[in-house]
Structure 1
Amino acid sequence: MEDNTRHDAFASMRIPEFRNLMIGRFAFIMGLRMMATLLGWWIYELTNAPFAIGLIGLSEVIPAISLALYAGHVIDISEKRKLLLTCISLYLVAAILLTLLSTHFTATVLHNHVIAAIIYIIVFGTGIIRSFTGPTFSSLLGHIVPKKIIANATTWSQGTWLSASVTGHATAGFLIAGFGNTGTLIAVIILVSIALSVLFLLKAKPPLNERGEKRTWESVKEGLHFVYRTKELLSAITLDLFAVFFGGAVAMIPVYARDILKVGPEGFGFLNGASDLGSICIVIWLTLFPLRKQQGRKLLIAVGLFGACIIVFALSKVFWLSFIALLISGIVDGVSVVVRGTIMQLKTPDNMRGRVLSVSSMFVNSSNELGQFESGMAAKLMGVVPSVVFGGCMTLLVVIVTWVKVPVLRKMEY
């Protein structure tokens, strides 16, 4: 019976509380990704500067990295449902402030560069919020689902995240074209409100670590030491950090859509959603047919193919080829996301999930924003196309070095 449960593709989804967590996560991530897509387009409209897009990533990543380790300590000693609801409520406030900032009245009163500066300040605030929300979502997973089906739950969780992401990216492009920035942000407010309502149904999740009197720095060091000692986990996180840092071509999609491929907001929406569409397709496949062996080797191959796809996208001048390159990059990225997420859930003790997942968040999740900043800086120094080619080549180099220098990851299986 246990073996049948372990290989049941819908095992975790049969748990009502897990379903509520996934519904709430879908609505929240969809709103979050719609906002991220809109901000890239909006900032480029206001400034006409690719570097300004990179500054969005920097504005969010500074607080996300700075507070990540402290956030992990707070998550482990806090009642997780209350903490998550508080964070999402604050994100709702940020969405409302951006909506007010996007109105025609504001545009007539404030200069474009002033509006851009305020956007950066609000994004800085969302970075603080995000340092808590991501690890809290992942930590709740381990508290709701039995360990014997945690791999299945992780795949469903990643699939939920990716499907929400692709829906948010693509929908934002169409909403921007049809209803403008303000209409798109109103949709974000609705989605975040739905997430808040559904997640309110979760049961309280008190901390498992009863040693709440432990000093903050001592607690943080314990999480760092665990990640350092777990070599498979450390190498997977490091690989993703550098691959996403150098391969963050998505940050330049507004420039490609408007100035290189000339496809406007609609094409921008399709390009933004292409990689996530590929990811959700492969995650659905992996849910039904999970990887049984050589997961580490497949992880490295997948990241290498991701770098190659970024190079093709960089050089393409044809919309359909650019779309396919991003689609395939999403497929191979989905493999790496599932493998890394499963390693993390299987290797981490319940009473350390907040700290370990925050360490991962500090490196993995923030690598997207760091990559966005790197892409903007490289575009300023080299030009848009050479900078994206450079990023893809560096991703390939990272994979080659990891393959040779970190055999424990290449040989890893679970």
Structure 2
Amino acid sequence: LIGSTLGGGIINFVSPSSAFFMVSFVMFLNVLVLRRLPSMFSIHRIERQGKFFTSIRETFVYVRSNKAIWACLLVVGINNFFGYSFESMAPKFAQDVYETGPVGFGIVLAAQGIGTFVMTGYFALRRKSIKNPGLWLITATTIQLIGSIGFSFTQTTLLGVISIVSLGMVSGVFTVTHTSIILLTSSANRWGRVMGFQVVMMGLYPFGSLLLGLTADTIGLAHAIRLFAVIGLLLLIVIWFRYTDLRKPI
């Protein structure tokens, strides 16, 4: 959020290599600070959950048996693969489409963080709980995919930043709701393992970015973003009709 903007400003005064050395030094200071954290648990007190692969298989069976969780994970995978083109391709837009300088480049990269920060802050201060997070999740994912199409038409830094900030806010809703669904619909003793599957689905993002880049080399950047968004929307329609449990209040 702040780092990208500062980085763009710093590069105006020092070389990129010097800026990276400065960032590395700050990260090293973080390591020193984190070493002072107290131990949160003892490895000897952890309850054994059985063999590793057996635990994974049992968790997968549990996830598949809970249609709300399974549908939630599918939506997470779909959105991370097809719906974050505005994030992965923002640097390319800043350089080739907006033709912005270092400061503008930093602002473009920070835009999503600004939107996500605002929205997650709103949910943190919100007194009422979300009664139907599944519906919120599907709505946020739909808006994010449609918004990615809109982002592909931007031609100026200002419009790009506005669209990315807006998509960052939607992404904040997406993140809060899919985490809420897992916490509310799974038993406490399975939270860690179910969230492991959640992280796996989130890990589809780099693969989607790679395929998006390869597709962009073939049909063009803007067309690739639109194609990915349309595919994501079609898959989301299947989820909407196939897994109605996701839309039910929790």
Q: Residues 248 and 391 of structure 1 are in contact (CA less than 8 Å); yes or no, is this contact kept in structure 2?
A: no
Structure 1: tracts of 5 or more residues without a match? 1-165
Q: Residues 91 and 108 of structure 2 are in contact (CA less than 8 Å); yes or no, is this contact kept in structure 1?
A: no
Q: Identity, % of aligned pairs?
A: 23
CA shift, 1:357, in A, is 2.1
State how far apart, in whole Å, the 2-side matches of 1:343 and 1:175 are: 41
Following superposition of structure 1 onto structure 2, how do residues 1-400 of structure 1 map, counting pairs within 5 Å?
Answer: 166-179=1-14, 180-198=16-34, 200-206=36-42, 209-211=46-48, 214-249=50-85, 250-289=87-126, 290-364=128-202, 366-400=203-237
Letter in 2 for 1:235: A
TM-score by length of 1: 0.55
CA shift, 1:215, in A, is 2.1
Deviations along 1:315-346, one digit per CA (max 9) or x if unpaired, are: 11122111111111111111110011122234
Distance of aligned partners of 1:168 and 1:354 in 2 relative to their CA distance in 1, 3 Å threshold: farther
Q: SS of the counterpart of 1:315? A: coil
Note the aligned Cα RMSD (angstroms).
2.3
State how far apart, in whole Å, the 2-side matches of 1:192 and 1:349 are: 38
Letter in 2 for 1:221: R
TM-score by length of 2: 0.87
Structure 2: tracts of 5 or more residues without a match? none
Q: SS of the counterpart of 1:200? A: coil
Relative to its length, the structure with more helix (as a share) is 1
230-239 or 349-358, which deviates more: 349-358
CA shift, 1:347, in A, is 4.0
Q: Residues 78 and 235 of structure 2 are in contact (CA less than 8 Å); yes or no, is this contact kept in structure 1?
A: yes
CA shift, 1:184, in A, is 2.6
Distance of aligned partners of 1:210 and 1:291 in 2 relative to their CA distance in 1, 3 Å threshold: closer
Q: SS of the counterpart of 2:204? A: helix
Letter in 1 for 2:224: S
Aligned length in residues: 246
State how far apart, in whole Å, the 2-side matches of 1:353 and 1:176 are: 43
CA shift, 1:231, in A, is 2.1
CA shift, 1:185, in A, is 4.1
CA shift, 1:391, in A, is 2.0
Q: Residues 243 and 398 of structure 1 are in contact (CA less than 8 Å); yes or no, is this contact kept in structure 2?
A: no
Letter in 2 for 1:205: F
Distance of aligned partners of 1:311 and 1:190 in 2 relative to their CA distance in 1, 3 Å threshold: same
Deviations along 1:357-385, one digit per CA (max 9) or x if unpaired, are: 22211111x12212211221111121111
State how far apart, in whole Å, the 2-side matches of 1:169 and 1:229 are: 42
CA shift, 1:260, in A, is 0.9
Q: Residues 68 and 185 of structure 2 are in contact (CA less than 8 Å); yes or no, is this contact kept in structure 1?
A: no
Letter in 2 for 1:304: T
State how far apart, in whole Å, the 2-side matches of 1:197 and 1:265 are: 30
State how far apart, in whole Å, the 2-side matches of 1:340 and 1:295 are: 7
